[in-house]
Amino acid sequence: MSDLGLGIDAGGTQTRWALADAAGAIVAEGSVAGMSATQMGSTAGRDAVRGIFAMLATQVLAAGQPLRVCAGLTGFDGVSTQAAQMLAEVLKLAPSSIGMRNDVEIAYLDSFAPGDGYLVYAGTGSIAAFIDADGQFHRAGGRGVTLDDGGGGFWIAREAMRHIWRLEDEQPGVWQQSAMARAVFAQLGGSDWSVSRQFIYGQDRGAIGRLALAVAASADTDPVARNILERAGNELARIALALVGRYGARPIALGGRAAHLHPLIAQSMRAALPSELSMVQRHTLAHHAAARIALHSHH
């Protein structure tokens, strides 16, 4: 195979890759462990990233030699070139063949041509993105889970835990009457505060975000869980409307794993937006999109 583009989508839970041929068809794909651009700030983190890239290169090169690479990296600030140099080394490519972007930019370009719409992306965190006709990236939200990221998986998990433990302060043991609390504690592996504390303060944000699965699973029977998911949709509408207010009315796409947890999230987001704004929900395969972007950048 002559022209192959390699797309990489590196997130907190896993790093997925895909090879696309000149026609844009995906000819191979796979995955390795998760990673983040923030790991590049420490020696141990850089070693971990290098190891993940080496495993990825072994899988990729067994399938074919890519000509160009488009890599979407969560937390990438557009400044550091270290990750791109590492990737070039393991793939035996010139550093100029490697294009590094923020993972949200790739998801945007899979949904819209520059200038055409707004992407609201809800994963562990949340962000609304707009790439204008000149290629400039604009955002609302996406400031990290400590500060905000309303409507993302971490936010949903934190709202649930906050509610559960506030009620326990008032009526110890009342959690047993809540479908949501039972689902959350089942996922945590215990109802003692020590278990919750260890989880919330000892786990990474991605693992905490996965607690949102328990909230979604109980939403059809628990009104509190239902309310949290409806508020998540309102939070996502808020960041979409921030971009609409700044740059004008455009179609909106909703993507990311947290957005697909339960239909209530998209429904309440839709209800919070003006009826004249079109909104679609997308299942983005970012590694496929990145592979095709890699080829376009070559041609």
Going residue by residue through the chain (299 aa), what tens digit of pLDDT does each one get? Answer: 568 999 999 877 789 999 999 998 999 999 998 888 888 888 998 999 999 999 999 999 999 999 999 999 887 877 678 889 999 999 999 999 999 988 888 889 888 999 999 999 998 899 999 999 999 999 999 988 889 999 999 999 999 999 999 999 999 999 999 999 999 999 999 999 999 999 999 988 888 989 999 999 999 999 999 999 999 999 999 999 999 999 999 999 999 889 999 999 999 999 999 999 999 998 878 899 899 989 876 43
Predicted local distance difference test score (pLDDT) of residue 79: 66
Separate counts of helices (H) and strands (E) for the chain: 11, 10
B/e letters for 90-105, b = 16+ CB within 10 Å, e = fewer, are: bbebeeebbbbbbbbb
Predicted local distance difference test score (pLDDT) of residue 139: 94
Q: Looking only at Cα atoms, what is the longest distance across the chain?
A: 67
Predicted local distance difference test score (pLDDT) of residue 1: 52
Alpha helices in 64-147 (DSSP H): 82-91, 103-111
**Running DSSP on this structure, what letter comes out for residue 259?**
G
Selection from 151, 128, 149 nearest residue 244 by Cα: 128
* Domains located in the chain, CATH noted: 5-108+286-298 (3.30.420.40)
How far is the C-alpha of 224 from the C-alpha of 69, rounded, in Å?
A: 45
At 117, list the tokens: 């719409």
Task: Tell me the whole-structure pTM to 2 decimals.
Answer: 0.85
How far is the C-alpha of 202 from the C-alpha of 219, rounded, in Å?
A: 27
- Compute and round to an integer the Cα radius of gyration of the chain: 20
